[in-house]
Amino acid sequence: MNKQTPIKSVVIVGGGTAGWMAAAALARILQNKIAIRLVESDDIGSVGVGESTIPMMRVFNDALGINEDEFVRETRATFKLGIEFLDWGREGERYLHSFGRFGQDQGTVEFFQYWLRAYQAGLAPALDRYSINRMAAMANKFMRPAPPERGNSPLADIVYAFHLDAGLYARYLRTYAEARGVVRTEGKVVQVRQRSMDGFVEALVMENGDEIKGDLFLDCSGFRGLLIEETLKTGFEDWSHWLPCDRAWAVPCELAAGLKDELLPYTRAQARPAGWQWRIGLQHRTGNGHVFSSRHMSEDEAASILLNSLDGKPLADPKLLRFTAGKRSKTWNKNVVAVGLSSGFIEPLESTSIYLIQATVSSLVKFFPDAGFDQADIDEFNRQADFEVERIRDFIILHYHATTRADTPFWDHVRTMAVPDNVRRKLDLYKAHGRSVRENNELFSETAWQQVMHGQGIQARGHDPLADLLDERQLLGFLGDIENVVRKCVDYMPGHKEFIHAIWQAKR
Q: Which positions are annotated as active-site residues?
A: 80
Distance spanning both ends of the chain, measured CA to CA: 59
The 344-345 sheet, strands edge to edge: 236-238, 326-328, 344-345
Report the interhelical angle of 56-63 vs 353-366 (nearest 10°).
50
Q: How far, in whole angstroms, is CA 432 from its chain's centroid? A: 29
Three state DSSP letters for 382-434: HHHHHHHHHHHHHHHHHHHHCCCCCCCHHHHHHHHCCCCHHHHHHHHHHHHHC
Return the amino acid letter for 420. Answer: P
Q: CA angle, corner 291, sides to 289 and 293, nearest 5?
A: 155
Please return the burial class of 380, using the count of CB atoms within 10 Å of its CB with bins 0-12, 13-18 and 19+.
middle
Who contacts 33 (Cβ-Cβ below 8 Å, separation ≥6)? none
From its phi and psi, is residue 334 left (phi > 0), alpha (psi between -120 and 50) or beta?
A: left
DSSP per-residue string spanning 157-206: G---EEE--HHHHHHHHHHHHHTTTPEEEES-EEEEEE-TTT--EEEEEE
Q: How far is CA 74 from CA 60, 78, 237, 344, 507, in A?
A: 16, 11, 37, 29, 12
* DSSP assignment of 58-75: HHHHHHTT--HHHHHHHT
Alpha-carbon gap, residue 115 to 127, rounded angstroms:
8
Rounded Cα–Cα distance for residues 482 and 469 (Å): 19
CA gyration radius, the chain: 24
Question: Which residue type is seen at 93?
Answer: E
φ/ψ (deg, to 5) at 116: -60, -40
- How far apart are alpha carbons 331 and 416 in whole angstroms? 31
